[in-house]
Amino acid sequence: MSPRKGVQKRVLVTAGPTRERIDPVRYLSNDSSGKMGFAIAAASVAAGHEVVLIAGPVDLETPKGVKRIDVESAREMLAEVRKAFPECDTLFMAAAVCDFRPARRLRGKWRKKDVGQERASLELIPNPDILGAITRRKGDRLVVGFALETSDGLRRAREKLERKRMDYVVLNGPSALNATKTSVKILGRDGSQRDLAGRTKSAVAKVLVGLRAPSKG
């Protein structure tokens, strides 16, 4: 299938956190606001692309012209990404996916009397690695992932780029979470590095949407 007439590319974006249920009223999640992914979706539409946005629970308006699919957990996000990936030319995996989820989801409320008054523990099991799984059949799609690092960022981000078969990885720090401005390094599979400091997420999104496949090295 090729893009609709007048449309340049089909772009798939994931955004926001995932939410992993403990019981009907509690969950595990993170501070991701979804702003970076939504900015990428908006910039992609502005560039004339057809955009599908798979969003975790966020409080943001859908950019005009974007097809949005809401999900809650990492496993729901994986299912939607699996459906949409074969039809896309470019994937921006900006979601902050929870690496673990509770081993059991309780049907009723988790009560103090059932788990002990002094100390309680929660058993966690790993979530699937969405990007790692989906890029096994990457083809010639352009894949851009993110790496949020607190130390040794360049090395860890490059390791993720290789392991998850990305073309580019966008390295940022925890101060990017929920912020309007951000500082990132864009690392390419071809060894390239581009530093963007103190930019709005819209400005960073515009640069990301303009990325071309790195030359093979």
User: Is 95 among the residues that bind ligand CTP (CB under 6 A)?
Assistant: yes
User: Is 160 among the residues that bind ligand CTP (CB under 6 A)?
Assistant: yes
Q: Which listed residue (47, 129, 183, 211) binds ligand CTP by CB under 6 A?
A: 129
User: Is 40 among the residues that bind ligand CTP (CB under 6 A)?
Assistant: no
Q: Which listed residue (131, 171, 184, 187) binds ligand CTP by CB under 6 A?
A: 131
Q: How many residues bind ligand CTP (CB under 6 A)?
A: 15
Minimum Å gap between C-beta 134 and ligand CTP is 8
Minimum Å gap between C-beta 100 and ligand CTP is 9
Question: If DSSP codes are grouped into helix, strand and coil, which group holds residue 109?
Answer: coil
Q: Determine contact, residues 135/111, Cβ cutoff 8 Å.
A: no
User: Is 184 among the residues that bind ligand CTP (CB under 6 A)?
Assistant: no
Minimum Å gap between C-beta 156 and ligand CTP is 7
Q: Which listed residue (99, 158, 185, 203) binds ligand CTP by CB under 6 A?
A: 99
- Dist CA 96 CA 74 (whole Å): 9
Q: Determine contact, residues 175/6, Cβ cutoff 8 Å.
A: no
Q: Which residues contact 149 (CB under 8 A, 6 or more apart)?
A: 156, 157, 171, 172, 173
User: Is 148 among the residues that bind ligand CTP (CB under 6 A)?
Assistant: yes
Residue 30: active-site member: yes
Q: Determine contact, residues 161/187, Cβ cutoff 8 Å.
A: yes
201-209 vs 35-46: helix axis angle to the nearest 10? Answer: 50
User: Is 145 among the residues that bind ligand CTP (CB under 6 A)?
Assistant: yes
Q: Write b or e for each residue in 137-151: b if 16 or more Cβ atoms lie within 10 A of its Cβ, otherwise e.
A: ebeebbbbbbbbeee
Catalytic residue list: 30
**Contacting residues toward ligand CTP, per CB under 6 A:** 74, 93, 95, 97, 99, 127, 129-131, 145-148, 160, 164
